[in-house]
Chains A and B, each alone.
Chain A
Amino acid sequence: MRSLPVFKKLPAVVGMVHLPPLPGSPRWGGDMQKVIDFAVRDARTLVEAGVDGVIVENINDFPFTRGSVEPITVAAMTVCVGEVRRAVGVAVGVNCLRNDGVSAVSIATATGAQFVRISNLTYAMVTDQGIIEGCAYEVSRLKSRINPGITIFSDVMVKHAFPIGPMDIGVVARDTAHRGGTNALVISGTETGAPINVDDLKTVRASLPDFPLASGSGVTPENLDEMLQYLDVVIVGTYFKEDGVLERPVDLKRARPLVQRVHAARK
């Protein structure tokens, strides 16, 4: 029986809170309160739809750095995550793109957020930011120092990225789980909104029958039933937005039925 400390029941649904551009990023609009209000509204809508958790992510800060984000990104995300935490009672996660696991754990620790998602914990991928290497060493040491109880979700062969050479997703998944120190694995398609290759899910599930698996992109009502055969956590971003457009606010009418279907799949 698979379990995860952050979610009482599985399968669970997690909705994305995609932050508008933050201060310091190229498209920053100049009004921090507007950023906070947008984030809190999306978080509240997701909770009204019944999600079990939300992930707060600086998705609009592109182009991203492949290394550590600037202090202004840490400070601004901390304010947003803190305000989301005040507004909703579900588990809150932090993803500090593109791969700043240390900052994500730091923000989560300071705000009391329960989990983080890290794009590349082990191995290395060629991404739109260049070569990104695993950060499991730094993350696991920081975790043991400041927040041993935090839950880590980590991608396996993350989206918007290619392996540097031949790479077996089953082996990478096992190493990320056993040597990288993650608590759950995230499997995604090739990019944001793209469906997951079912063969990948089958391979990882066969490789790790008892390990929690989450979807990282492209879950829709059409493929949900098939996905739920393999997944313990469904992370939904794009599909929950108005008209399925990433930049738009979360749409309660789209989110609620899908959440209900996931919850109905619980045994």
Chain B
Amino acid sequence: MMKLASFPRDPSVVGMVHLKALPGSPGWGGSLHKVIDAALYDATTLVEGGVDAIIIENFWDSPFPRGASEPITIASMTVCVQEIRRAVSVPLGVNVLRNDGVGAMSVAVATGAQFIRVNVLSYAMVTDQGIIQGCASEVARARRAATRPVEVLGDVMVKHAVPMGPMDIVTAARDTILRGGADALVISGTETGAPIDVKDLEKVRAALPEVPLVSGSGVTLENLPKMLPWLNVIVVGTYFKEHGQVERPVDRGRVAAFMDAVPKLSQGV
């Protein structure tokens, strides 16, 4: 298995910090302090619950641009990541939705965050933002500015998106690694909170036995036994929130219960 510097444990669990609407976005509430406070609450609660890493994402900035985000988004996310970095010591990742891989790399380089997630690194998908094209070339070039390696988690056939025609997930996965420069592959269901089709995991794992696989949606305590054998990194957003509702704050009890279950199930594998 290829090793990821950001995730020394296999499997590792990553909790999502879904940032409230940032300045410039339609839902912006007028106080960046409130955004930061909510993000710090979620980040520290995730760490208290035992997660191995955190991804910070501008989840509430919808509708998203399909291309580069505005400078105010980059500046605001930089402030949020910097504040979280000050508060917790686990590895941090950045995802600038909908597909601003260069923006995410920039925030990571400036703040010292260890990894980024990019939704469409290779190929192209029809998404709720229109047609989104891969940005692997731009991301790889931006990574050259990094002081130390910033790892790239690239989605394969990302959620909230459909392929533009017949598309084989195995070929897309292989190209995302070998030609797109991803360090790990993110496999998700059809939308946020939706479970992954295990057949997708089986296919990608069979084709790329050495590549770290990351879950991108829908992992819960209930389906963890089924998912865990295929995954090296489990990204959890919705399930960690109070009552499993994505708009609520992170629930420490749900995180802790999940984190307890992972090693027990891993030993059973």
A→B interface (CB under 8 Å): 23-24, 28, 30-32, 68, 70-72, 74-76, 78-79, 82, 100, 102-103, 105-107, 109-112, 142, 145-147
Contact = CB atoms under 8 A, between A and B. Distances in A.
A188 B102 CA distance: 36
A75 B72 contact: no
B82 A74 contact: no
Give the interface SS of chain B, mostly helix, strand, loop or mixed.
helix
Interface of chain A, main secondary structure:
helix
Interface string B84-113: 000000000000000010110111011110
A28 B23 contact: no
Interface string B41-72: 00000000000000000000000000011111
Contacts of B23: 109-110, 146-147
Contacts of A110: 23, 32, 72, 75-76, 78-79
* Most chain B CB within a 10 A radius of its CB, from A68, A75, A146: A75
A74 to B, nearest CB: 5
Contact of B24 (A23, A107, A146): A146
Contact of B82 (A79, A109, A112, A147): A79
A225 B186 CA distance: 65
B142 interface: yes
B167 interface: no
A79 B110 contact: yes
A23 B75 contact: no
25 contacts: A23-B145, A24-B106, A24-B142, A28-B145, A30-B147, A31-B147, A32-B109, A32-B110, A68-B71, A71-B102, A72-B109, A74-B106, A75-B103, A79-B82, A79-B111, A82-B82, A102-B71, A103-B71, A103-B75, A106-B24, A106-B74, A109-B23, A110-B79, A145-B24, A146-B23
Nearest to B79: A110
Contacts of A147: 23
Given A24-B142, A82-B78, A82-B79, 4 more contacts: A28-B145, A76-B106, A78-B78, A79-B78
B145 A24 contact: yes
Interface residues of B, number: 29
B110 A107 contact: no
A23 B110 CA distance: 8
Contact of B74 (A71, A82, A145): A71
Contact of B78 (A70, A74, A100): A74
A103 B74 CA distance: 9
Contacts of A68: 71
B74 A75 contact: yes
A106 B106 contact: no
A32 to B, nearest CB: 6
Contacts of B68: 71
A78 B145 CA distance: 16
Contacts of B24: 106, 142, 145-146
Contacts of A109: 23, 32, 72, 75-76
Contact of A106 (B75, B102, B112, B145): B75
Contacts of A106: 24, 70-72, 74-76
Closest 9 CB pairs of A and B: A75-B110, A110-B75, A71-B106, A106-B72, A72-B106, A106-B71, A78-B78, A103-B71, A75-B106
A8 to B, nearest CB: 24
Contacts of B103: 71, 75
Nearest to A24: B145
A2 to B, nearest CB: 30
A28 B105 CA distance: 16
B110 A76 contact: yes
The winner among B75, B105, B107, B109 for most chain A CB atoms within 10 A is B75
B82 A107 contact: no
Contact of A107 (B75, B102, B142, B146): B75
Given A24-B145, A30-B147, A71-B103, A78 B72 contact: no
A75 B112 contact: no
A100 B106 CA distance: 17
A75 B111 contact: yes
Given A71-B106, A82-B79, A146 B147 contact: no
A24 B109 CA distance: 10
Contacts of A71: 68-69, 71, 74, 100, 102-103, 106-107, 142
B237 to A, nearest CB: 23
B8 to A, nearest CB: 23
Given A106-B71, A110-B32, A72 B145 contact: yes
B104 to A, nearest CB: 9
A242 B223 CA distance: 64
Given A72-B142, A78-B78, A110-B75, A23 B109 contact: yes
B20 to A, nearest CB: 14
Contact of A74 (B74, B146, B147): B74
